[in-house]
Amino acid sequence: MHTPPDTVPVVIIGAGLAGLTVALHLADTIPVVVLAKRELTEAATAWAQGGIVGVLGSDDSIDSHVRDTQDAGAGLVDEATARFIAERSASAVAWLVDQGVPFTPDDDGPLGLHLTREGGHAVRRIAHAADATGKAIHDRLLSQAKVHPNISLKQRWMAVDLITHRHLGPDAPKRCHGVYALDIDSGRVETVPARAVVLATGGAGKVYRYTTNPDTATGDGVAMAWRAGCRVANMEFIQFHPTCLYHPQERSFLITEALRGEGGHLKLPNGDRFMARHDPRLELAPRDIVARAIDFEMKKHGVDHVWLDATHLGEAFLKEHFPTIHARCLKLGIDIAKQPIPVVPAVHFTCGGVVTDLDGRADLPGLYAVGETGYTGLHGANRLASNSLLECVVLGRTCAAHIGASARSAAPALPAWDESQVENADEQVVIAHNWDELRLLMWNYVGIVRTTKRLERALHRIDLLKSEVLEYYANFRVNRDLLELRNLVDCAELIVRSALMRHESRGLHFSRDFPETLPSSFPTLLIPPVRQA
């Protein structure tokens, strides 16, 4: 029995900026279902502090933004993609303003906005809402989605796997038809047909022990697309944000790039500034350079953190421009107006992902990936600060436009989820143990500085973990922890295999065995086996 096309929704997996942008642009004409595996407020977007790029000022230009993106991306940025997104940055920011996002105002600024500057940018071009831009954007768009009659928001629902032509028989045309989704509260896996599926699940930061990412960042979209037969690219380029707060009570709190953009200084415990030894741009060098510099100085001097000193900026300025950071640090006994902030690098962003075009289309018809889940060539070997939120809005809009313009067809009958051969899990501790082991080995062997031997050791252990996880998956009913671990193991393997393929050091990938940067290079492309399960 086929389902009439007008009643089949677009299913969006992920309720962050990318997913909500797609949903809000589609919902006036097409029913939309948004799945969030935790609470709706827990998307990574809400954790973004700095802001969103907008080429708005009279001192700025599309060419300047493209150059900065290419420079940060260390020779692997697709120029056409960077230009496409830069050209649409002003309209993306204007759309958010129209939605009522409360950006920090400036009567003399373009669109009445205050623009700040971050590392790698030639000029001030970052629209922001104090130092909690992501939360301001996410709160506003989520409030609109909640009241839209054509958007169904399902929290605590997690995608298990995509439903594709492989589930329909050997002669079925290649296509994504929906998703198997776990209702976490009931434990039931439902069959959810879809006119199109949009992967907007964010990155894979939780594959590492220390990360600025929320608990949702387990690489779900990348892993599901890979298992469904889609290509992924550039997974070796994992961005370590240079400045994560170093404190036993706060392991994931980001100290925004904008604090350095406004004049914060990186220092050793003895008070010496050190960035001049690493890059003439000092604290405003791109993130990969600053993170490696901090890592080098920590190892050289045997210290477990460095200092970010903003005391010279003054208490009034810090309270006005960085109220979230000021308040959070003060609760921990750190007055940033009087004391430097202890910081360390931590995993922040996945520059690679599911290969898509500029409409978000993946290799499988009916499947899209937007935001950190996707790979378009924008970020190259290192993402430029605040290009992430911009990418979510620009490609979220083009993705929605493509889905809206695509021909509708009746949805085929889809097979139900089969759990007749499994039983309830007996030892949840196995999942917790394997999760901890995976994150620790990735941190120790696949970190800021890599060697071939470390990568090979990591891959060997990942292969063993993968076999254990798949055996567990085959024999027991699924739950969120198991599904996340399964996805993280897949992403870890993709990261390590990509790193082993790159015989040079470039951007976020630095190898002691291949310390030079080749004169020319190409993205790392992984193609799944023909019969990938």
Backbone angles phi, psi at 489, to 5 degrees: -65, -45
Strand partners, 180: 161, 191
d(C-alpha 237, C-alpha 188), whole Å: 36
Do the beta carbons of residue 35 and residue 12 sit within 8 Å? yes
Active-site annotation holds for 287 = yes
Cβ neighbour number for residue 471 with a 10 Å cutoff: 10
Of 195, 260, 287, 454, catalytic:
287
> Three-state DSSP class for 533?
coil
* In 268-388, beta strands by DSSP E: 306-309, 341-350, 353-355, 367-369, 374-375
Q: Which two tokens stand for residue 241?
A: 């944000």
**Whole-angstrom distance, CA of residue 430 vs CA of residue 261:** 44
On whether the CB atoms of residues 439 and 219 are closer than 8 A, the answer is no
Tell me, letter by letter, the H, E, C secondary structure of 77-112: CCHHHHHHHHHCHHHHHHHHHHCCCCCCECCCCHHH
Integer CA distances (angstroms), 404 to 9, 116, 158, in order: 11, 35, 25
Q: How far apart are CA 111 and CA 98, in angstroms?
A: 11
Which residues are known to be catalytic?
287
